[in-house]
Structure 1
Amino acid sequence: FILSSCLRVWPTNPKCWLQLRNYLFQLNVSFVLKALSLEAKALLFMDKIARYQEAILQILTEYSKVRYSNLQAENQLIADKENHRYQVVTIGWEGKKFIHDCPMHMDIINGKIWIQRNMTEVDLGLKLMESGVPKSDIVLGFLSPKIRGYSDYAVS
């Protein structure tokens, strides 16, 4: 009932849009997507990107708060929300040596989260899944395409 009534009035009823969106994510049924207009599909995709961006920023913000006892360095969160590129950069000094490193880097490409770099003990894939991102939308970009097929995550 929700589906048929919402498809008729969804453009004029934002509340209906939220009900429909929640219904689709709960069922995860592809045939329902076929019934939606291109505009509705675009909104669903945009909502997915927003959820993924929020998950990434939450994880990277948590890590960027890490403080080092043996370095005069800080972690900085860099977020290009327009192009969907997210990094933590470590900047500072180790004695007389300048440090500029990128321990974490994730991108959103074609609706999937690409883990481009992870030089930490944090399991980013697991953290993303705990945030509601399915394995099929997580790509280990730091692995070669041939090796990615052997991981539990998406290939591309």
Structure 2
Amino acid sequence: MEKVNYKELIQTILTQHSGNDLDTETEVQLLFDTERDHYHVVHLGWDEQQRVYGCVIHVDIKDSKIWIQRDRTETGIANELAAAGVPKENIVLAFKAPYLRQFTEFAVG
């Protein structure tokens, strides 16, 4: 089986999630630090008089594993990565407390 290029796959999946699905005039930014392996999707701008700023997705690559720091998607980035060929033992749900990760089908760390 061919090894999956994590950097490229993460960028592809996050780009697919960068569509503006909010009912506001906010901007969606893709922030890719490929040198240090940090990847983000951020919503920012204004909705009338209300400031909008939030990280929707934050993924890191550490020690040859994909660490999902934040995932505010319906599908779940972990599920998309697994469907694309990333072994579940290489995906860490970092937004879950370390003692809870053992109860998921993904890596603990």
Q: Is 1:102 equivalent to 2:48 in the alignment?
A: no
Unmatched tracts of structure 1, length 5 or more: 1-24, 27-46
Shift of the alpha carbon at 1:119? 1.4
CA deviations over 1:26-77 (Å, ceiling 9, x no partner): 6xxxxxxxxxxxxxxxxxxxx76xx011111011000112343x21102110
Greater Rg over alpha carbons, structure: 1
Which structure ranks higher in relative contact order (CA pairs < 8 Å, sequence separation ≥ 6)?
2
Shift of the alpha carbon at 1:145? 0.6
Unmatched tracts of structure 2, length 5 or more: none
With the length of structure 2 as denominator, give the TM-score of the two structures.
0.93
Residue identity matched to 2:87: P
Provide the alpha-carbon RMSD of the alignment. 1.4
Q: Distance in 1 between matches of 2:81 and 2:13?
A: 8
- Aligned equivalent of 1:138: 91
CA deviations over 1:111-156 (Å, ceiling 9, x no partner): 0000100112131111001211010100000001100010000000
SS in 1 for 2:10: helix
The alignment of Structure 1 onto Structure 2 pairs a total of residues equal to 109
Structure number with the higher helix fraction is 1
The one of 46, 50, 56 equivalent to 2:10 is: 56
Q: Distance in 2 between matches of 1:96 and 1:146?
A: 41
